[in-house]
Chains A and B, each alone.
Chain A
Amino acid sequence: MAQDKPRIILRTEGLANPRALKTYIEHAEGYTAIKKVLGGAVTREQLIEEVKASGLRGRGGAGFPTGLKWTFVPQSDTGPKYLICNNDESEPGTFKDRHICTVNPHQVIEGMVLAAFAIKANKGYIYTRWEFQEEIGYLVEAIKEAYAAGFLGKNILGSGFDFDLDHYSGAGAYICGEETGLISSLEGKKGQPKVKPPFPAVSGYLGRPTIVNNTETLANVPWIVNHGAKEFRQYGTEKSPGSKLFSISGALVRPGVYEVPLGYPFERLVQEECGGYLPGRSLQALIPGGASAPLLTPEEVKGLTLDYEAMASRGTMLGSGAIMIIDDRQVLAELLKVTIEFFAHESCGQCTPCREGTGWLNNIMDGVLGGTAKPDSVERMRTVAKHMGGKTICALSDACAMPVTSYVQKFSGQLQAYLAQAAAAGSHVK
């Protein structure tokens, strides 16, 4: 029987000096996976096969199979290739990658050496949002330690494989979490996403083949190498194997980051890990996967498990694993406004449906909250959101449209109440 709550990622959490190289080596099989692979016991092809077999899916939000993504790098191309760790973590509600940097940064670095070996990249970057100043310090320190120990740099462990790793700081832009926006930023440009195809695996950083993986995704790889795909699949579900970090916040006794197997019951996470809701509060609505995810009603939350399939079957998504509890004291119209305002501010402006759509929604919500909205405002929001989906360079436009549609569908009562109030007061625009 697999353990109830595996420790695949947060292996050094709770130990003294959890971030230190020594701790990683002594308590978390640190750097044994690269010894195995670079020592020749596992070939490049076997490594990719093992990651594919594990069923590991990208933890950055889209859930794309990691091993498969690595095969998209054209190996006939003998020029430079790059590996980027997406540590931008800007999806509202998400703070798991920050936690990995705080408790176990070396596992990310080891995962990067393995991924780089798999795709034949000799240079990598960790791209972190500027706001994580403390954590950037931890990463820079860990990189320094790994170089000093010979786990990074030229001819790692005498294998002939070179991998240089550097850190790069963002400068406050959500859109740099989108992989092509991130690449633009790393090139020293505005963080504007690029049209795909070509995908970064073929033409990424400086036009060269580039794999962008999320921090948590990369941190899974050393464990998979050490324990094998089969053992990884003992955790989680058939379609969502392994463990997942959930960042859970809101009116809870112990909000935080928890590692649990995929498929874990939501209610159990709230009760056991988080110590339940704050006294006197109850669930009004749930944001299950970051600000981009459609909301769930308490009815839909009944029996909810935390995996990609269960979320999809309820019309929402697991996303980055960012769970936000909306308790009964909250005014949903205000939260909708906060959400829309966020996307309107972060839209990079390249695509008309996104730039204009987020702006219109923002204006409508100002009217709703200010008591000056037209009576058909809720209907207009639905229409605007409908025209924002699926027509843009990146998914930010959809990321705004999806939650808006869910608010309007499932919680229009509250919005209508605002409108009715305004109508009664005679302040609305006719």
Chain B
Amino acid sequence: MSVFGDGLKAEIEGFLKRYETRRSAILPVLHAIQDVHGWIKPEHIEELHTVYGLDRVHVKEVITFYDIYKDKPVRKFQIRYCKNITCHMLGARPAIARIREHIAALDAAHGEDGAFSLEEFPCLGKCDGAPVMLVNKERVEHATVDKIDQLLTKYAPTVLR
């Protein structure tokens, strides 16, 4: 039995054939796994090694090097907030502080398994919408304190039933 499931297996096999070397497929394969499972589990790395011939050392060093890959469970909404120059100038710091408050309150009320996580990120390449954050794959512009309050209050009940 594969730990991946049929759809993902087919996708992984597609990537392994797509590039000049199998190793070039490591990044796309890891993206595909994360899209389905949220994070890269030890059993994923093992199966990539034993079934698909992707060296476990090569895979692990890629996971460690790149910020996007996670080898620990993730929360339902991963917030990546830009703290770089323009966002800093236009209000990132108070907004980040507010997100921390929300997360602390939600965790206190609902336990460890809260819905949101926060990571401070380098420039997200949308400085004309500063301050900017990503919520999973979606970009939120002008993410000031007011907007944070609106968004987190809106999302929270839908995931914290």
Binding site for B on A (CB under 8 A): 89-95, 98, 123, 129-134, 166, 168-174, 185-191, 205-206, 247-251, 255-257, 287, 291, 322, 324, 326-327, 330, 334-335, 338-339, 342, 345-346
Shortest Cβ distance from residue A210 to the other chain B in the assembled complex, whole angstroms: 12
Q: Are B23 and A189 in contact (CB under 8 A)?
A: yes
**16 A-B interface contacts by CB (under 8 A):** A92-B123, A93-B85, A130-B68, A131-B121, A166-B19, A168-B27, A171-B27, A189-B58, A190-B62, A206-B20, A248-B128, A250-B90, A322-B127, A327-B89, A330-B89, A338-B85
Q: Are A98 and B126 in contact (CB under 8 A)?
A: yes
Q: Indicate with 1 or 0, residue by residue over B38-53, a CB within 8 angstroms of chain A CB atoms.
A: 0000000000000000
Q: Which residues of B contact A132 (CB under 8 A)?
A: 125
Q: With A251-B90, A291-B84 known to touch, is A189 a contact of B62 (CB < 8 Å)? A: yes
Q: Are A188 and B62 in contact (CB under 8 A)?
A: yes
Q: Does B28 have its Cβ within 8 Å of any Cβ on chain A? A: yes
Q: Are A131 and B20 in contact (CB under 8 A)?
A: no
Q: Which residues of B contact A94 (CB under 8 A)?
A: 123, 125
Q: Does B153 have its Cβ within 8 Å of any Cβ on chain A? A: no
Q: Are A324 and B85 in contact (CB under 8 A)?
A: yes
Count contacts on B: residues with CB < 8 A to the other chain. Answer: 41
Q: Which label, helix, strand, loop or mixed, suits the secondary structure of the A interface?
A: mixed
Q: Are B128 and A326 in contact (CB under 8 A)?
A: no
Q: Are B84 and A338 in contact (CB under 8 A)?
A: yes
Q: With A131-B134, A174-B122, A190-B65 known to touch, is A338 a contact of B127 (CB < 8 Å)? A: no
Binding site for A on B (CB under 8 A): 18-21, 23-28, 30-31, 58, 61-62, 65-69, 80, 83-86, 88-90, 121-128, 130, 134, 137-139
Q: With A251-B90, A291-B85, A339-B85 known to touch, is A171 a contact of B127 (CB < 8 Å)? A: no
- Chain A: which residue is nearest B64 at the CB level? A190
Q: Are A90 and B68 in contact (CB under 8 A)?
A: no
